[in-house]
Amino acid sequence: MHNMEKHTDWKKVFSGKRILMADDDELNLEIIGNLLREQGAEVHTVRDGREALYTYRAEHGVFDLIIMDIVMPDLSGLEVVRRIRRTHLYPGAKTIPIVALTVNSSEEDREKSLAAGMKLHLAKPLSPNNSFPALETLLEAGQ
């Protein structure tokens, strides 16, 4: 709880933020989505890469943060991020903070995530203590 105690009001960080979260694990979507919603974020959850890309486009790219599982059926998180970064339709496509969420935490996996266009590589399971400070930094940098 150390980091949570240092930052007394996570609602100031996440309130009103639009977050797209893609993970093929329903439990991860529910847990992380609820943690962020409790802090006032508007969280859009999707279960695969194609749905993530569709939602990003349908919402005209208007998200403050994307949390993307790497290993998903159909279209990997890395490919989704590459496609978002290549688009010219939405002004924030090249700069929106996109976070890799994965059980693969090796240096090689981290390098692949960053090379694809992720800004951060976080290992599952996410918790407020191990993720909120890093997400705060990304959100502040994106403003």
Res 4 pLDDT > 50:
no
Neighbours of 103 (CB within 10 A): 12
Residue 51, CB half-sphere, CA atoms under 13 Å: how many?
A: 14
pLDDT band for 3, please (50, 70, 90 cuts). Answer: very low
* pTM score over 0.75: yes
pLDDT value at residue 5: 46
Contact residues for 1 (Cβ-Cβ < 8 A; gap 6+): 129
| pLDDT-wise least confident of 2-16, 74-88, 128-142 | 2-16
- Summarize pLDDT for 77-132 with one digit per residue, the tens: 999 999 999 998 898 999 999 999 988 778 898 999 999 999 999 988 888 888 89
* Domains of the chain by residue range: 12-136
The listed CATH number (3.40.50.970, 3.40.220.10, 3.40.50.2300, 3.40.50.300) that belongs to domain 12-136: 3.40.50.2300
- Summarize pLDDT for 19-62 with one digit per residue, the tens: 999 999 999 999 999 999 999 999 999 999 999 999 999 999 99
Alpha helices for 24-92 (secondary structure H): 26-38, 49-58, 77-86
CA dihedral 36, 38, 39, 42 (to 10 degrees): 60
pLDDT value at residue 6: 52
